Every structure is written in structure tokens, then in C-alpha cells.
Structure 1
Amino acid sequence: GLGSAVAEVVVITHPVPMRILGVPGVFAPTGSASWLLDYFGLTAQGIFDAALELRGRKG
């Protein structure tokens, strides 16, 4: 998907640790947009926590 395409370009020019965040290739449950973002960890806090985890620190 888009995340892997961007990751490929970035890693060639600036190798850095990275984690692709997004909706996995599954049928998503039904809910509001904000609930779905929270469910998949795509809120500001979820993204922040993923960044801390990538750096080896827990929030």
C-alpha cells in the first residue's frame, strides 16, 4: 500500500527505524470515524505511543 511505497523511498535516502501504521487488510467493525480511529490506534495518542515503542520506550 501507500505506507510501504513511502517507506521504500525513505529507507533508500534516509535509513531510519520506522513502523507503518494503518488499517490492516481486514473487514473493519462498524462504528463512527472517531471510534474506528481509536480501534486501530490511529489517534494522536496511538501514534505517539507507537513512536515511543519504536524508540524502545514505553509511554
Structure 2
Amino acid sequence: MNVQERFDKFIKDSKRVLKVARKPDADEYFEFAKITAIGILIIGLVGFVIVLIGQLIGL
């Protein structure tokens, strides 16, 4: 497969993705935002606990 064929396949695949893609409605957007916020909070809490444990044992 040469460069031109790979480029043509990429363009064809990109067009297909753009045809199928759609903008999320307000409920979907809020759900994604909520899940993302929960994930950020969990990661922050885990980091805080690790730092707290490290300070308690004197690292």
C-alpha cells in the first residue's frame, strides 16, 4: 500500500466518521461533565491520600 492509497483511505475513513458523528444534546453533555468531574475528584482524592500517608510515615 503506497502513500497515495493510505492517504485516500484516511480521507475516506475521516468522511465516514464525520457523517456519523453528532453533537451531544444537553442531557448527554451534562452526563459526560458529571462523570468527568467525578473522575477528577477521585484522582485528586487518591493523590491527597498518598501525600497524607507519605507525610505521616515521614517520606
TM-score by length of 1: 0.27
Larger Rg: 2
TM-score by length of 2: 0.27
